[in-house]
Structure 1
Amino acid sequence: MRILLLMRGVPGSGKSTFIKEQGLEPYTLSADALRLLYASPMLDKAGRWCISPHFDKQMWPFLLQTLEERMKRGCFTVVDATNIRGRDMTAYKKLANEYKYRVYVVDFTDTTIEEAKKRNLLREEYKQVPENVIERMYAQLADNKVPSGITVIKPGELSQIWYKPRDLSAYKKVIHIGDIHGCYKPLKEYLEEINPQNYYIFLGDYIDRGSENAEVLQLLLQLAALDNVTLLEGNHEANLRDYGLPDGIASKEFRMQTASELAQAGLSRKAVYNFYRKLSQCFCYTYQGKKVLVSHGGLARMPENLSLVATAELIYGTGVYEDALDVDMSFAKHAAANEYQVHGHRNYEGVPAEVNEHCFNLDGAVEMGGQLRALELSEDGFVTKMIASNKLL
């Protein structure tokens, strides 16, 4: 998911050890590891092996470029560097704002200088740094604060950042609404009004292909402000992002139809972009003993830690477009008795809404003459609804 975790502390403060202990190495960009890509360990003037600092001018832009590529996919990412200077963290913050990331700093600055020096000497020779470097960095800490907009946590508080399912058991129903694709009439027929006793989850792909894109978006702009509504991001919502950005290039399909509909309805690019910024990556909840994962694309299993799943996989689904049925079968194979998933986006085989006892596919191809699919969960269980030609089937 779109979370950036920055380590902050002097060499020897325990950052890399913490990453290893937390099992976060596969998600980490390490400044020292990248330095070693540019040059193998070299001898210093005292005859000791060290990591060369001579390629830092190339390494830091490479790190930021790599980070941006990961952010485009919404990958959970850890940056293992000292991150002492405020201006370095400002560069991360700028990227995070562009790609809808939350940024956290894990603060190791409480480690005493004596302890840092001691730990430094216990590391492999080529990883050790001169003591004067540690002393200089400690002095820099006093003049460099963490920029606003970045949340600071201590190593023992890492669990605070992880996604946690929300308990919706107090609601009468949980209602899931599948891909709409600019088809306002069937949506409005099913959703005559919002009941405050129900919770509503929209699965994304609100626009394109249909001919009522502006009406759909106008309705969703109203619903986005309600506490009992969650709007997920689908792959077609990237067009809303690109439409709202000064240098964004939306798809040809969007430009030829959807954009003109939005403009004629008086929906500004800024309003459209702000709507996109409010969309969620996924939604996981519990309801009277059931645990339900809702995403646009569908996953092959219920993740132990949802925060570690890339946003691109949540939106496009595990595998490729044609894998939807296999993915649902895999989810059912791995699922506990009380675990379920609901998704849309792809229905290559034309499966019914209830794919198996654990999975629901709400892509009914409404824009192609099919049905708008909805799924209702109450104390009596799951009930599927299909809306087509202004009739509830």
Structure 2
Amino acid sequence: MVHLLKPRGWKPPVRRQFFLDCNEIADLCDSAERIFSGEPSVLQLKAPIKIFGDLHGQFGDLMRLFDEYGAPSTAGDIAYIDYLFLGDYVDRGQHSLETITLLLALKVEYPNNVHLIRGNHEAADINALFGFRIECIERMGERDGIWVWHRINRLFNWLPLAALIEKKIICMHGGIGRSINHVEQIESLQRPITMEAGSIVLMDLLWSDPTENDSVEGLRPNARGPGLVTFGPDRVMEFCNNNDLQLIVRAHECVMDGFERFAQGHLITLFSATNYCGTANNAGAILVLGRDLVVVPKLIHPFTTGNFIARSFT
């Protein structure tokens, strides 16, 4: 799979049938799962590193980001910079299978340099509804597609849940919500873990959002659904002070410039898929974090076709 990484000029396949079969995907999942099962729930990483937000099956955007800002290969920059992906690899886009299988193959090829953590769409109850399950069936047939969907979701239960870079920058998918006050609370989560079996800590970690701006403090109900919250800049500063952190980097929300600062710059929201769901017209971004822990955003702007499933989603 890794040898097929050719970002320049990538075009969607003419045939929708996926090019890997069940046995190949099973082998890939087995290899990746062995690696994930040996990793802690909170990864301890070093700079320099590139950080990617939500991809949502928009494989074309992933290829563009690799083409424009370097790819994780021996021909690219993997020898001197790590890669961290913040979850939501599947759903909504047309190429969830390409996206997740390439990332897993990169993890297997470069286990110490490519890092994946879990998003809220890396859960069967969510990706059964928002595109991944039906993509597996449509592109692999009903029997094989359902089997592959189940197998990849079992692997998702092993994904690490956060990453700490140089003990100063914490990266997660959603946020700190109401319940997370110390990094040790995330470290104590035992994997494999399902959303159904998870605690309020896991729910906050994968689902919570910052409030709409720095003037809205405290905890507020989250429009995403009952039991979910948004957290204000005061919570961000409290968490950073409690854990001697400089910055929180999280994904989970589409933002127009691909990245957005909050809490006087102590939190950054990162989103890497452009023109989300074919309607948002947003840019996508990654963050390049240097050895000095200075964050540099790198952007791509949307194409008009080829990335998303033209359906109405909330």
Q: TM-score range by the shorter chain?
A: 0.5 to 0.7
Partner of 1:213: 96
Is contact 1:190–1:387 with CA below 8 Å preserved after alignment?
yes
Q: Helix, strand or coil for the counterpart of 2:94?
A: coil
Counting helix residues as a fraction of each chain, which structure ranks higher? 1
* 1-structure distance, mates of 2:231, 2:105: 37
Alignment equivalent of 2:182, drawn from 303, 312, 323: 303
Partner of 2:58: 183
* 2-structure distance, mates of 1:315, 1:352: 18
* 2-structure distance, mates of 1:349, 1:177: 15
* 2-structure distance, mates of 1:190, 1:267: 31
Is contact 2:170–2:245 with CA below 8 Å preserved after alignment?
no
Q: Helix, strand or coil for the counterpart of 1:314?
A: helix
Distance 1:291 1:327, change over 3 A: same
Distance 1:273 1:231, change over 3 A: farther
Partner of 1:103: none
Is contact 1:181–1:208 with CA below 8 Å preserved after alignment?
yes
Q: Helix, strand or coil for the counterpart of 2:101?
A: helix
Partner of 2:123: 238
- What are the equivalent positions in structure 2 for 1:54-203 lying under 5 Å apart? 166=44, 168-169=45-46, 171=47, 173-192=48-67, 193-194=71-72, 195-203=78-86
Is contact 2:176–2:231 with CA below 8 Å preserved after alignment?
no
Partner of 1:353: 260
Alignment equivalent of 2:282, drawn from 364, 370, 379: 370
Distance 1:351 1:281, change over 3 A: same
Q: Helix, strand or coil for the counterpart of 2:79?
A: coil
Partner of 1:204: 87
* 1-structure distance, mates of 2:223, 2:171: 18
Is contact 1:175–1:200 with CA below 8 Å preserved after alignment?
yes
Number of residue-to-residue matches in the alignment: 218
Partner of 1:89: none
**Residue 378 of structure 1, CA deviation:** 0.9
Is contact 1:214–1:262 with CA below 8 Å preserved after alignment?
no
* 2-structure distance, mates of 1:210, 1:175: 22
* 2-structure distance, mates of 1:302, 1:203: 20
Structure-1-length-normalised TM-score:
0.47
* 1-structure distance, mates of 2:87, 2:160: 10
* 2-structure distance, mates of 1:198, 1:267: 37
Partner of 1:317: 208
* 2-structure distance, mates of 1:351, 1:333: 26
Q: Helix, strand or coil for the counterpart of 1:221?
A: helix
Partner of 1:259: 136
Opposite residue 283 of structure 1, the aligned amino acid is A
Partner of 2:246: 339
**Residue 272 of structure 1, CA deviation:** 4.3
Partner of 1:382: 295
**Residue 214 of structure 1, CA deviation:** 2.5
Is contact 1:341–1:360 with CA below 8 Å preserved after alignment?
yes
Give structure 1 stretches of 5+ with no counterpart.
1-99, 101-161, 244-249
Partner of 2:168: 291
Is contact 2:92–2:130 with CA below 8 Å preserved after alignment?
no
* 2-structure distance, mates of 1:252, 1:186: 19
Q: Helix, strand or coil for the counterpart of 1:176?
A: strand
Distance 1:386 1:254, change over 3 A: same
Is contact 1:344–1:363 with CA below 8 Å preserved after alignment?
yes
Partner of 1:276: 153
Partner of 2:6: none
* 2-structure distance, mates of 1:302, 1:284: 16
Larger RCO (CA under 8 A, 6+ residues apart): 2
Rg: which structure is higher?
Answer: 1
Deviates more, 1:183-192 or 1:341-350: 341-350
Is contact 1:353–1:384 with CA below 8 Å preserved after alignment?
no
Structure-2-length-normalised TM-score:
0.57
**Residue 202 of structure 1, CA deviation:** 1.0
Give structure 2 stretches of 5+ with no counterpart.
1-32, 34-39, 73-77, 190-199, 210-220, 304-314
Distance 1:269 1:365, change over 3 A: same
* 2-structure distance, mates of 1:334, 1:209: 32
Distance 1:164 1:352, change over 3 A: closer
**Residue 353 of structure 1, CA deviation:** 2.7
* 2-structure distance, mates of 1:328, 1:208: 30
Is contact 1:281–1:311 with CA below 8 Å preserved after alignment?
no
**Residue 178 of structure 1, CA deviation:** 0.5
Q: After superposition, what is the alpha-carbon deviation per residue over 1:331-356, rounded to whole angstroms, capped at 9, x for unaligned?
A: 13542364321111135898943334
* 2-structure distance, mates of 1:253, 1:311: 23
Opposite residue 164 of structure 2, the aligned amino acid is Y
